[in-house]
Amino acid sequence: MTALANLAAALAGGDVEVIDLTHTLDPDFPVIVLPPEFGQCARFRMEEISAYDHRGPGWKWHNISMSEHTGTHFDAPCHWVSGRDLPQSAVDEIPVDRFVGPVVVIDCSAQSAQDPDFLMTPAHIEAWETEHDRIPEDAWVLMRSDWSKKSGAAYLNMADDGPHSPGPSPEAIRFLIEERNILGFGTETVGTDAGQGMHLSPPYPAHFLLHGAGKYGLQCLCGLDRLPPTGAILMAAPLKIRNGTGSPLRVLALVEKDSA
Amino acid sequence: MARLGYDGVVVTAPVSVPYERYSIETAHWWIARALRGTLQAAGLKPAELDGFTVSSFTLFPDTAVGLTQHLGLCPRWLDHIPMGGASGVIALRRAARAVQAGDADIVACVAGDTNHIDSFRSLLSSFSRFASDASYPYGYGGPNANFALLTDRYMQDFNATREDFGRICVAQRDNALRNLNAVMKKPLTMEAYLNARPIADPIALYDCVMPCAGAEAFLVMREEEAIKRNLPFARIKGTIERHNAHAGNPIQLRGGWTLDVDDLYGMAQCAPEDMDLVQTYDDYPVISMMQIEDLGFCDKGGAPEFLRGRDMTVTGDFPHNTNGGQLSAGQAGAAGGFIGLVEAIRQVTWTAEGTQVPGARRALVSGFGMINYDRGVCSAAAILEGAA
Amino acid sequence: MTDPLQPPVKKNPQKRTVSPTRPPESRSRAALGLTAAAAEGRFALQCCAECGAVQYPPRDACCACLSVALDWRDVSPKGQLIAETRIRATTSLYFRDRLPWRTGTVQLDVGPSVICHVHGECEKGARVELWNRLDRAGQGVLIAVPEERTPNMQDDPQLRAMTSDPKHRRVLITDGRAPNAPALTKALLAAGAASVFLGEGETWRPYPERTALEALGVEFLPLDVTDTSSVNRMASEYGGKVDILINNARFLRPGGVLARGDTGFARDEIEVNYLGLMRLAQAFGPAMCGRTGDGVNSAVAWVNILAATSLSNSPEMGCFSASQAAARALSQSLRGEFRTSGLRVMNVYVGPTEDDWHQPLPPPKVAPGALARDVVSGLRNGLEDVYCGDVAKDMSLKFARDPKVLERELTMGGET
């Protein structure tokens, strides 16, 4: 049997499961908050065009609007100033083979529960590798914090000095890029950076360093607790938007049964 | 310059089309019946008529002009007189001058209105600009509310009582019982008057007229024409007309008659005490009192006392509104401005039948019309004298 | 003394809600001058520019000298109640539901006699003052009130029918996050509002004033005027309980067209300031219009808080003010659409407010407490147009005088 025939059989037989890592697009889902004098990320909005009524008797449909960075979404390199001049830095230019690949999950949920400002360091990554395996090249690395289980105000966890949520340290991101040559980095929080990431050096290190190196970001993921630390395949294909800096998307993972 | 009299001009052929509370017919229908009645009474054909006046509130969108074609008339003199309660006397004096000058030979003066279930309401809603702007928005009481205010003020200033007004209403009901065509058929007691349902304090049910459908008409012609046709006729001894008098008075306690009353009696060469009967415009009893005062029967504010000592019935010493007036015979729109005049013609020509005042020779007829805003704007009066 | 108005008893669910009716609406064009003055709470009559004669009812020519130069001027509202009646029968459905109705004749010190509504505390023959108020047809009418203010006089049923008094009514303030929400809430509760609902969008985003608002005993409702589904959801749950809606939702950023260089904020301004109002009206309007005859706590007013620059624009807040002008235009359509129900649209035009976005501007600026006071007094006087703060008052006068002159004043001077 061919590889795909095997996959099809495994999917049909339930030996390979498809896991949804995506939040529902909902008008009330939080988006990143910036100082109000800056441009703002549009919330998801939906307006009826018709609903089997005088506006269209036999059909229902909506117009939707949102930012490229609303809900569970993909960040392309050109999202950040550090990646603006790279080739293939917009969502419509990225080769499609980059949208499917292996994924590893580093579980930081215990630390995040203890400390909302938890920063994942190279030491945490190395400890994970000791337990599991070396992170393969061109893999998605997802930081599990269980943050997706929070809702309402607890999700952004905004205080007078800004939001408080876990993320990677600058060193950890450098390590993943320079030592492991990953495909991209993903989180359960509203951004790939920690809530207080603007106070790190460089500010917003995940965004700055990942995109400067041509790597991708995924954020507002959920369901990471259903993924195995290694061995799953991630499918994350953004909409093909000309010169798009990112896109809401459906993030799916293929997981072998009982491997989680 | 001394006013010219109406010598040689007479009024004749009085017709009242019996009133109905509600009618499914139109004003055109009612006016046609009255016109036909008055022409028949004089043995005339429509083509012989060369003058025509019309008064009506419910003729819209037509006027006297539309009626000529509608009714097949070809007058050489035409007038539309939208003056409500004053339109009878005013139609009379205009027609008389036309006949006197030879502009017309025979003028029919007609007033008529229909009354559909909702037509009083729709009439109110389009009566006048000032009423729409400054009267209806305040409780929409219509004329009842306006006259309630005048009555309230009159009672304050002149110590009039409800019984004083009641006396007028009770006497008119008495008169109405002699008039087969009166809408009101039952006697009215003072007790019933005083205990009636309040409408707009101090006005209660029997202070108000009953809106209905009906029509009235008469003819104006030269005296020799009437004699040739063997018609009983009345002479026009004097008339007056006035509009928007006493505009500076804060509330209406007097009408335009006060400006012209001397002229009226001077022209007729008689005095109030020479009248055998008086027909006032009686949409509310306070207005009858106002006319009795302003036409010289007593001083301002003296009407309550004046009437306390008098009997206003047909057989009394001060016969007043002998057919029951609008209060008891009904108010058929603009015909309400004719009812007193038409009855007065019958009285002085001794054709009033049940309501006849024995030996009546001279009648005073007064008209009052058009609550444009807070008061009646038009006032008019005429003295008729029988030929007998 | 007027008996204090009692809170409404709970509604009998088996009884049909009283259908909205309204007093006669028809007016001549001249008479609309009274309406225009009533919209701002002024007592004005036509005065002849040539001979000075004061006219009433409104005319097209002077009844003393036939001059057609008749100006509406504020004149003394004092006079004497010379006659009165209680109307107990009428063919008007509106008044039938409210009989007996007291009216009277007042002889004004300035001359004319007027037929007017009469407050229950006026004695016959007494000195009175006339107030010019909008009735439920939205037209200016005169009501005689005692010369001296008395406790509870606002509760007189005839006067109350001409106002939007918040007493015993339930108020929805659409944006609890707005800097004016605490002051508005306090003022409405102090004016006797039965309850205040505060709309709250983006509950995932905290704001410091919430604790103070909680302490006032308000009810928070999830409501984001940019989110149709949230507006519709809240209207279906609370639409029948909102007697006064105050739309204070506002999105504001400085800058004109060229300074901005894009349509990003403009889109937000339109979403909140214009489409937000439209969404609220589509969701809450029908329910409120259906309840304008519903007794003591009938639905009575729709309040828009608008920038005074909606009257005439300038580049400093050019894009924002354009969205406010759009909202103002929409409010005029709403006045027409709410007309048959008698639901009143009150626009409160505010000058620069004491908040972050106007921080670089010099005073005078409108403090939240001053805005709240004007909103409550506007409701109590049944106004349609309120100009809050010196800047807004100044703008309204200049706008009335000559809109083109105002426009040039506001748009010149950039090069100095």
3-state SS assignment for residue B255:
coil
- Give the distance from residue C122's alpha carbon to the nearest chain B alpha carbon, in angstroms: 15
How far A179 CA lies from chain C's nearest CA (Å)?
38
Q: Which of A32-36, B91-95, B134-138, C238-242 has the lowest mean pLDDT?
A: A32-36
Answer yes or no: do C150 and C201 share one domain.
no
CA distance C256 to chain B (A): 45
Q: Do residues C202 and C124 share a domain?
A: no
Whether residue C90 and residue B139 make contact (CB cut-off 8 A), yes or no, is yes
Q: Does the beta-carbon distance from A45 to C253 stay under 8 Å?
A: no
Query: Do C190 and C264 sit in the same domain of this protein?
Result: yes
Q: Is the pLDDT of residue C414 over 70?
A: no
Give the pLDDT mean for B109-123.
Answer: 84
Q: Which helix (H) or strand (E) holds C280?
A: helix C276-289
Does pLDDT of B386 surpass 60? Answer: yes
- In this predicted structure, the answer to whether residue B125 has a pLDDT above a threshold of 70 is no
Q: Tell whether C254 and C122 lie within a shared domain.
A: no
Task: Please report whether residue C388 resides in a domain.
Answer: yes
> What single string gives the DSSP state of each residue in C166-188?
-TT-EEEES-TTSTTHHHHHHHH
Q: Are residues C338 and C189 located together in one domain of the fold? A: yes
Q: Do C232 and C117 fall within a single domain?
A: no
Q: C197-220: per-residue pLDDT in tens?
A: 999 999 999 888 899 999 999 999
Which of A27, A33, A40 lies at the smallest CB-CB distance from C230? A27
For residue C59, give every residue at least 6 positions away whose Cβ sits within 8 Å of its Cβ, in sequence order, or none: C30, C46, C70
Question: Rounded CA gap, A198 and A200, in Å?
Answer: 6
Question: Contacts of residue B196 in chain C, CB cutoff 8 Å?
Answer: none
Interval A174-223: pLDDT, tens: 999 999 999 999 999 999 999 999 999 999 999 999 999 999 999 999 99
3-state DSSP assignment of residue B338: coil
pLDDT band at C415 (very low <50, low <70, confident <90, very high): low
Q: Is B105 exposed, middle or buried (0-12, 13-18, 19+ CB in 10 A)?
A: middle
Question: Each residue of B155-196: pLDDT tens digit?
Answer: 999 999 999 999 999 999 999 999 999 999 999 999 999 999
Question: Are C228 and C361 within one domain?
Answer: yes
Residue C362 vs residue C320, higher pLDDT? C320
Contacts of range C98-101, beta carbons closer than 8 Å, 24 or more positions apart: C98/C157, C98/C158, C98/C161, C100/B201, C101/B139, C101/B141, C101/C158
Q: Could you give the residue numbers annotated as active site of A? A: 79
Find chains touching chain B: ≥3 CB pairs under 8 Å: C
Name the band, by pLDDT with cuts 50, 70 and 90, for residue C342: very high
**Helix ranges, C77-225 (H):** 93-96, 157-160, 181-190, 210-215
Of A90, A27, A30, A65, the residue nearest A246 (C-alpha)? A90
Phi, psi angle pair for B294, to nearest 5°: -70, -20
Asked if C75 and C175 sit in the same domain, the reply is no
* pLDDT score at B388: 63
Instruction: List the structure tokens of C233.
Output: 């959801």
Tell me if chain A has a CB within 8 Å of the CB of C268: yes
Domain B134-207+233-386 homologous superfamily, CATH: Thiolase/Chalcone synthase (3.40.47.10)
Alpha-carbon distance values, B125 to B23, B63, B84, C25 (Å): 20, 19, 16, 10
C353 and C226 in one domain? Answer: yes
Q: Is the four-CA dihedral C358, C360, C364, C369 of positive or negative sign?
A: positive
- Extract the tokens encoding A204: 């917003």
Q: Chain B residues with CB inside 8 Å of C84's CB?
A: 149, 152
pLDDT, position C357: 85
The answer to whether B313 and B323 have CB atoms below 8 angstroms apart is no
pLDDT mean over B10-24: 97
Closest-CA residue of B relative to C95 is: B139
Say if residue A83's pLDDT is above 90.
yes
Helix (H), strand (E), coil (C) string for chain A = CCHHHHHHHHHHHCCEEEEECECCCCCCCCCCCCCCCCCCCCCCEEEEEEEEECCEEEEEEEEEECCCCCCCEEECHHHCHHHCCCCCCCCCCCCHHHHEEEEEEEECHHHHHHCCCCEECHHHHHHHHHHCCCCCCCCEEEEECCHHHCCCHHHHCEECCEECCCEECHHHHHHHHHHCCCCEEEECCCCCCCCCHHHCCCCCHHHHHHHHCCCEEEECECCHHHCCCCCEEEECCCCCCCCCCEEECCCEEEEECCCC
Chains contacting C (3 or more CB pairs within 8 Å) = A, B
Mean pLDDT of C340-345: 96
The model's pTM is 0.92
Nearest to C204 among A46, A153, A160 (CB): A153
Say if C14 falls within a structural domain: no
How many of the other CB atoms lie within 10 Å of CB of C290?
17
> Between the CA atoms of A230, A233, A234 and A239, what dihedral angle is there, to the nearest 10 degrees?
170
Hey, what CATH topology would domain B9-119+214-228 get?
Peroxisomal Thiolase; Chain A, domain 1 (3.40.47)
Are the C-beta atoms of C19 and C341 separated by less than 8 Å?
Answer: no
Amino acid at B137: P
Residue of chain A whose alpha carbon sits nearest to that of C226: A45
Domain boundary residue, one of C140, C160, C180: C160
Contact A28 C206 (CB under 8 A): no
Residues C249 and C301 in one domain: yes
Tell whether C96 and C219 lie within a shared domain: no
Domain ranges of chain B: 9-119+214-228, 134-207+233-386
Mean pLDDT of B60-77: 96
Residue B157, chain C, CB below 8 Å: the answer is: no
The Cα–Cα gap between B269 and A139 comes to: 125
Shared domain check, C334 and C256: yes
Please give the average per-residue pLDDT across A115-136, as a whole number: 97
Amino acid (one-letter) located at B89: V
CATH-assigned architecture of domain A15-31+47-256: 3-Layer(bba) Sandwich (3.50)
Q: Of the candidates C26, C88, C103, which has its C-beta nearest B138's C-beta? A: C103
Count of the separate structural domains present in chain C: 2
Check which CATH number belongs to the domain holding C382 and give it.
3.40.50.720
Given this model, what pLDDT does residue C229 score?
95
CB C320 within 8 A of CB C252: yes
Of B137, B197, B374, the CB nearest to C139: B137
Q: B195: helix, coil or strand?
A: coil
AA identity, residue A23: H
Chains in contact with chain A (at least 3 beta-carbon pairs closer than 8 A): C
Nearest-by-Cβ selection for C90 from B133, B141, B153: B141
* Spatial separation of the C-alpha atoms in residues C395 and C400, rounded to whole Å: 8
Contact yes or no for C224 and A27 at CB 8 A: yes
Is the pLDDT at B35 greater than 50, yes or no?
Answer: yes
B146 touches chain C (CB under 8 A): yes
pLDDT confidence of residue C416: 46
Cβ-contact B138, C114 below 8 angstroms: no
For residue C290, the enclosing domain spans 170-411
Average the pLDDT over B109-125 and give the result. Answer: 81
Q: Average pLDDT in the B352-369 region? A: 96
| pLDDT score, position B120 | 64
Residues in chain A, overall count: 260
Distance CA B294, CA B145 (A): 23
CA A223 to chain C, closest CA, distance in angstroms equals 21
Contact present, A and B (at least 3 Cβ pairs less than 8 Å):
no
Q: Tell me whether residues C89 and B373 touch, CB distance under 8 A.
A: no
How far is C135 from chain B, CA to nearest CA, in Å? Answer: 9
Residue B257 CA from chain centroid, whole number: 15
Question: What distances in angstroms separate CA A104 from CA A136, A253, B210, B270, C373, one per listed residue?
Answer: 9, 11, 96, 124, 61
The backbone torsions φ and ψ at residue B97, rounded to the nearest 5 degrees and listed phi first, read -65, -35
Angle at A74 between CA A73 and CA A76, to 5 degrees: 150
* Residue C25 forms part of a structural domain: no
Sorted by sequence, the CB contacts under 8 Å of residue B248 that are 6+ apart come out as none
Strands C101-108 and C78-87 come out as: antiparallel
**Selected residues 146-175 of chain A with any CB under 8 Å from a CB in chain C:** 151-153, 155-156, 158, 160
Q: Are C79 and C107 in contact (CB under 8 A)?
A: yes
d(CA C39, CA B134): 17
Spatial separation of the C-alpha atoms in residues C380 and C377, rounded to whole Å = 5
Q: How many CB pairs under 8 A join A and C?
A: 45
Minimal-distance CA residue of chain C relative to A152: C204
